[in-house]
Amino acid sequence: MNGLQRLNIDIAALSETWLSGEDQITEVKLGYTLFWKGKPEGMKRDGGVGFTIRSTLLENIEYSTGITDRLMKFRFPLECGRYLSILSVYTPTMKSTEESIMSFYETLRNTIACVPIEEKLIVLGDFNARVGQDHDIWGALVCYGIGKVNSNGLLLLQLCSEFNLVSNTFFR
């Protein structure tokens, strides 16, 4: 958390936390609170998602929801009665079963669909995807994708197209 403080980062989405259950810890000296959602206690610890949030922002959080060990949501009020929803995502790797990948995307799709259209939405995380360079075909890509699209990348691009989201290919 020292790095977050040094870089003046207010909110960081975390993947592969490897923590069990769902909880939070506040690091008072550094001024951050860690929230996480992992597999239930007693199960193999892998995956897990979370957020590290500057503690001074916590009074503004409307709610946090650990949806699964691969998906967590925070909702913040903004000015003028508007809201910001932030999702922390950890997509199953390509070595995972097709069933677990499709189940994850169904849950993510349902979560995004429940965010009111007038809200701001930011989806952060590790998508275990390569989206390629076909920015002429996919409106979800800007011009700095790399390599060739893989199967997880195709699922991500389809999701982005469905919800009018843009993949982070703004930077080289």
Question: From residue 151, how far is each of 17, 63, 156 by CA, in Å?
Answer: 24, 33, 9
| Structural domain contains residue 148 | no
Q: If you average pLDDT over each of 102-106, 130-134, 160-164, which comes out highest?
A: 102-106
Judged by phi (left if over 0) then psi (alpha if -120 to 50, else beta), residue 81 lies in left
Note the pTM of the prediction, 2 decimals: 0.88
Domain assignment of residue 110, yes or no = yes
Looking at the structure of the chain, the number of domains it has is 1
Domain contains 144: no
Q: For the domain that residue 86 is a member of, what is the CATH number? A: 3.60.10.10
* Average predicted confidence (pLDDT) for the chain: 87
Q: Do the domain assignments include residue 12?
A: yes
38, 45 Cβ separation under 8 angstroms: yes
Report d(CA 105, CA 148) in Å as an integer: 21
The verdict on residue 145 lying in a domain is no
For residue 47, give its domain range.
2-128
